[in-house]
């Protein structure tokens, strides 16, 4: 291993701009917890980049919900409603499988 002054050079560059986390509706947790099997809801987005971020955010929220209610199953899909792009979240039948 070499150590010389050329290995590390301190530079004066700006800090990269960080993205704010994707916002979900305030009542999303309650909606997911109380949603009936076979029901769905639609979240409107504004274009493909936001759709991708919103899908990631809702999947993360569903993943966290599984710690509290592990048998609840959901499915997330891209879709349109009245000409608006967005995502639709479906409540699936509960998972009764035993995890070994």
Over the stretch 6-28, which tens digit does the pLDDT of each residue have?
Answer: 688 888 888 888 777 888 999 99
Establish if 9 belongs to a structural domain.
Answer: no
Query: Number of structural domains, the chain?
Result: 1
Establish if 76 belongs to a structural domain.
Answer: yes
Beta bridge partners of 92: 73
62-91 burial, b at 16+ Cβ within 10 Å, e below that, comes to beebeeeeeebebebeeeeeeeeebbebeb
Establish if 11 belongs to a structural domain.
Answer: no
Establish if 33 belongs to a structural domain.
Answer: yes
Beta bridge partners of 78: 87
Establish if 13 belongs to a structural domain.
Answer: no
Residue 80: alpha-carbon gap to chain centroid: 18
Establish if 97 belongs to a structural domain.
Answer: no
The tens digit of pLDDT for each residue in 35-82 reads 999 999 999 999 888 899 999 999 999 999 988 988 899 999 999 999
pTM check: above 0.85 = no
**Are 49 and 66 within 8 A, CB to CB?**
no
Range of the domain at 64: 28-92
Establish if 14 belongs to a structural domain.
Answer: no
């Amino acid at each position: 291993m070499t150590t010389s002054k050329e290995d590390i050079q301190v530079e004066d560059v700006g800090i990269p701009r960080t993205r704010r986390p994707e916002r979900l509706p305030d009542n999303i947790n309650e909606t997911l917890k109380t949603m009936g099997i076979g029901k769905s809801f639609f979240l409107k987005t504004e274009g493909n980049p936001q759709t991708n971020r919103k899908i990631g955010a809702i999947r993360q929220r569903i993943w966290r919900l599984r710690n509290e209610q592990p048998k609840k199953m959901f499915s997330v899909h891209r879709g349109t409603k009245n000409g608006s792009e967005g995502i639709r979240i479906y409540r699936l039948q509960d998972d009764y499988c035993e995890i070994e």
